[in-house]
Amino acid sequence: MFKILKVDHVGVAVKNLAATKNFYSEVLGLTVFGEELVEQQKVKVCFIPCGDSEVELLESTAPDGPVAKFIEKNGEGIQHLALRVDNVENALADLKAKGIRLIDEVPRYGAGGAKIAFIHPKSSGGVLLELSERQ
């Protein structure tokens, strides 16, 4: 059993993290938090809290990274939707039992120390869905 708690964040693929950060902070007046390199995903990310959810900006650090490939195919824009779950292992077991196609069978490290896993868009109405568990 698992529970979806809320929309955790919306992931946006950008070519220039600094410029986009500037838009969110200077133009929209939001506070941008840190910057983290997630080596495994070949991305540099930052989070921008916005009410109860956040915007995640992702800039690729390598031409063969998933975010670079996304931009090559679709241009910059919304790349994934992340839902906060109470327990990501339980969620994966449950979804697997229901025959849902998963990208991650086991959770991986996400920015900010979250435990995350992705569901394949073929199983979720065309949206790359991230499940995120945070303390």
Nearest residue to Zn ion, using CB? Answer: 11
Site string for Zn ion, 75-114 (x = CB under 5 A): -------x--------------------------------
Query: What is the residue type of 73?
Result: K
What DSSP designation does 99 have?
Answer: T
CB 130 within 8 A of CB 118: yes
Looking only at Cα atoms, what is the longest distance across the chain? 46
Strand 53-60 relative to strand 43-50: parallel, antiparallel, unpaired? Answer: antiparallel
Site string for Zn ion, 37-56 (x = CB under 5 A): -------------------x
Q: Spell out, one character per residue from 52 to 81, where the chain touches Zn ion: x when CB under 5 A holds, - when not.
A: ----x-------------------------
The answer to whether the beta carbons of residues 10 and 82 sit under 8 Å apart is yes
In the complex, minimum distance from the CB of residue 27 to Zn ion, in angstroms, rounded to a whole number: 22
Nearer to Zn ion, 130 or 133 (CB): 130
Structure token digits, residue 115 = 């435990």
The site for Zn ion (CB under 5 A) is made up of 11, 56, 82, 130
